[in-house]
Amino acid sequence: MPSTHLSFASREAHHAWLVSQAKLPAGFRVGTMRFDFVPREAPKPAKMTLTLIALDQPTPDFAALFTKNALPGAPIIVGRRRLEEATLGAIIVNNKVSNVCAPGGIEASEKICAETARLLKLKPEQILPCSTGVIGWGLPVDAMLGALPEAVGTLKGESILPAAEGIVTTDLYPKIRRAELGGGSIVGIAKGAGMIEPNMATMLVYILTDLAVPRGELRAMLRRAVDATFNTISVDSDTSTSDTVALVSSGKVQGVGAAEFEKALTTVCRDLAEDVVRNGEGVRHVIRVQVQRADSGELARALGKAIVNAPLFKCAVAGNDPNVGRLVQAIGKHVGAFAPATDLSRLKLTMGGIEIFAGGVFQLNPEKETALVAHLKAAELYASVIPKDGIFAAAIHYPPHERCVEIGVDLGSGAGAATVIGGDLTHEYVSENADYRS
Amino acid sequence: MPSTHLSFASREAHHAWLVSQAKLPAGFRVGTMRFDFVPREAPKPAKMTLTLIALDQPTPDFAALFTKNALPGAPIIVGRRRLEEATLGAIIVNNKVSNVCAPGGIEASEKICAETARLLKLKPEQILPCSTGVIGWGLPVDAMLGALPEAVGTLKGESILPAAEGIVTTDLYPKIRRAELGGGSIVGIAKGAGMIEPNMATMLVYILTDLAVPRGELRAMLRRAVDATFNTISVDSDTSTSDTVALVSSGKVQGVGAAEFEKALTTVCRDLAEDVVRNGEGVRHVIRVQVQRADSGELARALGKAIVNAPLFKCAVAGNDPNVGRLVQAIGKHVGAFAPATDLSRLKLTMGGIEIFAGGVFQLNPEKETALVAHLKAAELYASVIPKDGIFAAAIHYPPHERCVEIGVDLGSGAGAATVIGGDLTHEYVSENADYRS
């Protein structure tokens, strides 16, 4: 279940709420700088934003998880080394170019770190670099070095909103979630809308806290929280080469309890993960699958993923069509291919709380069909607007509500359970991705 | 590589070619009957075609493979039993309703078999039933029983074309492939356009031959041929609950060599499998991935599937956008999640024969980019037409050519190789599937 149930009537209302969530924890400052550059690989100019998150003092208490994609970006390779360092002083993020498998990518990343460190009077190995955007392009190092002093010049300790806005690419709106506890706070921001089926972490997530938690505990808590949240979402089954989630404590506020902190951290992660799906490329319905009584937690999660990644079911949801046959197909495909020993004889399925399958057969009638359509329509974030030029675009730039298409899967067998969040497959997704780079 | 390289300038030219391929092998007759009915589950009338494929005499030499989806249709359950029978006399196929997990589905299927048998003077257990169409709806048994005599009345031994046309659902055109050898022939038909990532067989495929091959050999050959062909394609990563491929010999022509027969059978299967993708729902580009020097054949096939099933890469191909970063993402995702021990340091990638990745980095420049765009455009089957009502539909109803987007993946390591065929992800796919049942 969602930890919050927000709804917004307008982009302005959403923005006002973001501002209310954005207060930085003690000990952090953020700054950004937006500039034009001409990529080596493309004929026309592009825009990049540099986002800097700096600590007042370097901290030993930081954690980060990175993508399991086997062809990761250069910043991921550098970032993994940074985990071995004694302290972290700042995070430097650029959008537009992901620096994945580009010639000289690691050297480029290290140059940005070195200049950031020089300007902040830190060591290069105290800087965590992150990049997101087009895969294959190289970083415009000179243009970035030129922009860095201005990013440093804008550093301020009030709001995380400039950073939440600075790291986006195809996102429709910035994403911020916060928890307040123990006299301090945990504040997280996320970007990511496509290439989202995280495996260890999502696109780019930064969680800052002033609450003092030692490095070892911080890293263990982040691993558990991410596994229960970001690793259970999928927008399009594609796993980014740049996924990163970082958690940094400035240690300014002492005395928070470990259990209390982990609970709040997990809530912030879950809210951000849902935000990422809700703002997923072309997503017009969020689909929440709650699987219970499976033989294992792994099977439960895999079944949930199989459902939210099944293109035909995703299309049916987009059309407010309760085509439950495609839901059964998705379950049967996964079990047949990966878990053939599973007993499906006690399988029960619900949509919007309405029983649709039990005892080996569908449980359908025209009244239920009407109710299912109503459930789908109520969960729609916005209706498709047919474009004159054939390029479908999102009709809204804020999340109007947090309702989901609710799918229940009960295997009537073991103790395994999982909740998986995904989105539908729409014309807006195809329009966004069939001509994204041009 | 494709076994044939056809191209057609018009639907009429394609139809004339189908007619030239359609001569039935000795010992078979086909008949069809199209009629209206009102589904119990939906408010408005629908159309169904019954297709009957009958042997002059029942044969012991038949083989069939069925879906591995763990929630299979009732005809699949009945069909598996039929494999134990001494002989097969006829196949009865209906479209529009798939009879999957519908209450009383097996009894309905057996009723159709019993009446078909009575009309043909056979036993019910000599009839193989098949159904394709909406999942969840029950068979309109009375309407089907009423239509059966006319289907029997149209039985003729000349052309398989009426059957190829009778079994379709969302297919844009019928699919027939033939091989002639040893004084007889092998003729196959296929339907299937969506919910296509077969696991043992594709949607519905019937292959008829007059060449005498004993049952045991026939079954082993079919298993190998299907594994090398239908099991290497994917339109949308969804595995149907009704996949069936049947191979039936009337035994009229003696003396064909086993190796020669298997080679011709495999060619017919490969051609039909490619036809299924080429006519896949919304497919505007066929993508052929040839993986070589992988650590195993299984890894090679899995990598090929990971590429043709990656939504972002599929969208890029749809837009004639050589977004090779998404290709790398798909490979890295699969290896990271399922084969993390794989060494990718010698990975080489080509598109249209052009090297795009080697030595751990992209090998790109503006000239290559231009050539890659030209390769993508040459493989396009038809251009998207922007619709006034927002519902995208295929602009052609015949396969204009057999060119593919050619992807080469060389891991520089083992002896594993595989060729995988898939399609792009388009507005036409979303339009077809976001409102398919209505």
Q: How far is CA B188 from the centre of its chain?
A: 11
Q: Are B64 and B207 in contact (CB under 8 A)?
A: no
Residue B373: predicted pLDDT: 95
Residue B69: predicted pLDDT: 86
CA distance B181 to chain A (A): 36
Q: How far, CA to CA in Å, does B248 sit from each of B167, B199, B213, B271, B370? A: 17, 21, 9, 18, 49
CA distance B335 to chain A (A): 6
Question: B338: which 2 tokens?
Answer: 């399922």
**What are the chain A neighbours of B392 within 8 Å (beta carbons)?**
427
Each residue's pLDDT, cut to its tens digit, for chain B (438 residues) gives 344 578 899 999 999 999 999 999 999 999 999 999 998 877 789 999 999 999 999 999 999 999 888 889 999 999 999 999 999 999 999 999 999 988 999 999 999 999 999 999 999 999 999 999 888 889 999 999 999 999 999 999 999 999 999 998 888 899 999 999 999 999 999 988 777 777 655 568 899 999 999 999 999 999 999 999 988 888 887 777 888 889 999 999 999 999 999 999 999 999 899 899 999 989 999 999 999 999 999 999 999 999 999 999 999 999 999 989 899 999 999 999 899 999 999 999 999 999 999 999 999 888 999 999 999 999 999 999 988 888 899 988 899 999 999 999 999 999 999 999 999 999 999 998 886 554
Instruction: Give the residue from A169, A185, A342, A344 showing the smallest Cα distance to A249.
Output: A185
Question: B234: which 2 tokens?
Answer: 């994917």
**A87 carries an active-site annotation:** no
CA nearest to B368 within chain A: A41
**What are the chain B neighbours of A100 within 8 Å (beta carbons)?**
325, 328
Q: Exposed, middle or buried, B216 (CB in 10 Å: 0-12/13-18/19+)?
A: exposed
User: How would DSSP label each residue in A278-328?
Assistant: HTSTT-SBEEEEEEEEES-HHHHHHHHHHHHT-HHHHHHHHTT---HHHHH
Choose, out of A40, A100, A135, A376, the residue to mutate when testing the contact with B (most B CBs < 10 Å): A135
Each residue's pLDDT, cut to its tens digit, for chain A (438 residues) gives 344 578 899 999 999 999 999 999 999 999 999 999 998 877 789 999 999 999 999 999 999 999 888 889 999 999 999 999 999 999 999 999 999 988 999 999 999 999 999 999 999 999 999 999 888 889 999 999 999 999 999 999 999 999 999 998 888 899 999 999 999 999 999 988 777 777 655 568 899 999 999 999 999 999 999 999 988 888 887 777 888 889 999 999 999 999 999 999 999 999 899 899 999 989 999 999 999 999 999 999 999 999 999 999 999 999 999 989 899 999 999 999 899 999 999 999 999 999 999 999 999 888 999 999 999 999 999 999 988 888 899 988 899 999 999 999 999 999 999 999 999 999 999 998 886 554
Instruction: Give the residue from A60, A129, A123, A49 showing the smallest Cα distance to A91.
Output: A129
**Pairwise CB contact (< 8 Å): B332 & A369:** no
Helix, strand or coil, per DSSP, at residue B108: helix
Residue A307: predicted pLDDT: 96
Residue B2: predicted pLDDT: 41
Instruction: Give the residue from B103, B102, B107 showing the smallest Cα distance to B135.
Output: B102
Q: Are B266 and B229 in contact (CB under 8 A)?
A: yes
Sign of CA dihedral A386, A389, A391, A397: negative
**Pairwise CB contact (< 8 Å): B335 & A438:** no
Amino acid identity for residue B44 in this structure? K
Q: How far is CA B301 from the centre of its chain?
A: 17
Q: Are A18 and A136 in contact (CB under 8 A)?
A: no
Q: How many CB atoms lie within 10 A of CB A47?
A: 10
Q: How far, CA to CA in Å, does A354 sit from each of A207, A395, A407, B32, B185? A: 38, 30, 9, 39, 53
CA B69, CA A385: separation in Å to the nearest integer?
36
Q: How far is CA B291 from the centre of its chain?
A: 21
Which segments of B147-295 are extended strands (E)?
Answer: 175-181, 184-191, 204-211, 233-234, 244-253, 286-294
CA nearest to A367 within chain B: B41
Q: How far is CA A114 from the centre of its chain?
A: 28
Q: Are A394 and A428 in contact (CB under 8 A)?
A: yes
**Pairwise CB contact (< 8 Å): B43 & A366:** yes
Instruction: State the greatest distance between any 2 C-alpha atoms of chain B, in Å, as a whole number.
Output: 70
CA nearest to B342 within chain A: A70
Choose, out of A67, A326, A405, the residue to mutate when testing the contact with B (most B CBs < 10 Å): A326
Instruction: Give the residue from B241, B232, B331 showing the smallest Cα distance to B277.
Output: B232
Beta-carbon contacts of residue A328 (< 8 Å; ≥ 6 apart): A349, A357, A362, B71, B100, B101, B135, B136, B241
Q: How many CB atoms lie within 10 A of CB B203?
A: 28
CA A284, CA B21: separation in Å to the nearest integer?
46
Q: What is the 3-state secondary structure (H, E, C) of B311-348?
A: HHHHHHHHCCCCCHHHHHHHHHHHHHHHCCCCCCCCCE
**What are the chain A neighbours of B321 within 8 Å (beta carbons)?**
434-438
Q: Are B131 and B93 in contact (CB under 8 A)?
A: yes
CA end-to-end span of chain A: 39
Q: How many CB atoms lie within 10 A of CB A403?
A: 17
The upper half-sphere exposure of residue A43, i.e. CA atoms within 13 Å in the direction of its Cβ, equals: 5
Residue B201: predicted pLDDT: 55
Choose, out of B96, B99, B326, the residue to mutate when testing the contact with A (most A CBs < 10 Å): B326
**What are the chain A neighbours of B69 within 8 Å (beta carbons)?**
329, 332-333, 336
**What are the chain A neighbours of B43 within 8 Å (beta carbons)?**
366
**Pairwise CB contact (< 8 Å): A239 & B328:** no
Q: Are B31 and B158 in contact (CB under 8 A)?
A: no
Q: Are A323 and A369 in contact (CB under 8 A)?
A: no
CB-defined contacts A:B, below 8 A? 262
**Pairwise CB contact (< 8 Å): B337 & A68:** yes
Question: A271: which 2 tokens?
Answer: 């809210």
Q: Looking at this predicted complex, what is its ipTM?
A: 0.86
Helix, strand or coil, per DSSP, at residue B264: helix
Q: Are B166 and B49 in contact (CB under 8 A)?
A: yes
CA B374, CA B380: separation in Å to the nearest integer?
10
CA A174, CA A196: separation in Å to the nearest integer?
16
Sign of CA dihedral A34, A36, A37, A42: positive
Of A69, A315, A347, the CB nearest to B332: A69
**What are the chain B neighbours of A332 within 8 Å (beta carbons)?**
69-72, 239, 241
Q: Is A239 left (phi over 0), alpha (psi -120 to 50) or beta?
A: beta
User: Running DSSP on this structure, what letter comes out for residue B231?
Assistant: G
CA end-to-end span of chain B: 39
**Pairwise CB contact (< 8 Å): B384 & A362:** no
Q: How far, CA to CA in Å, does B392 sit from each of A281, A318, A391, B433? A: 20, 15, 12, 11
CA B9, CA B431: separation in Å to the nearest integer?
26
Residue B404: predicted pLDDT: 95
CA B42, CA A298: separation in Å to the nearest integer?
37
Q: Are B294 and B300 in contact (CB under 8 A)?
A: yes
Q: How far, CA to CA in Å, does A438 sit from each of A47, A136, A318? A: 14, 14, 26
Interhelix angle A105-120/A141-153, nearest 10 degrees: 30
Q: Which residue in the block uniquely carries the two structure tokens 């970007």?
A: A191
Mode of pairing for the β-strands spanning A28-37 and A46-59: antiparallel
Alpha helix ranges (H) inside B66-203: 74-82, 105-120, 141-153, 161-166
Residue A2: predicted pLDDT: 41
Catalytic residue among B132, B202, B266, B342: B202
**Pairwise CB contact (< 8 Å): A433 & B316:** yes
**Pairwise CB contact (< 8 Å): B69 & A332:** yes
Beta-carbon contacts of residue A84 (< 8 Å; ≥ 6 apart): none
**Pairwise CB contact (< 8 Å): A321 & B438:** yes
Name the phi and psi angles at B396, rounded to 5.
Answer: -135, 155
CA B327, CA B376: separation in Å to the nearest integer?
14
Choose, out of B67, B134, B238, the residue to mutate when testing the contact with A (most A CBs < 10 Å): B238
**What are the chain B neighbours of A240 within 8 Å (beta carbons)?**
329
Q: How far is CA B390 from the centre of its chain?
A: 28
Q: Are B54 and B156 in contact (CB under 8 A)?
A: no
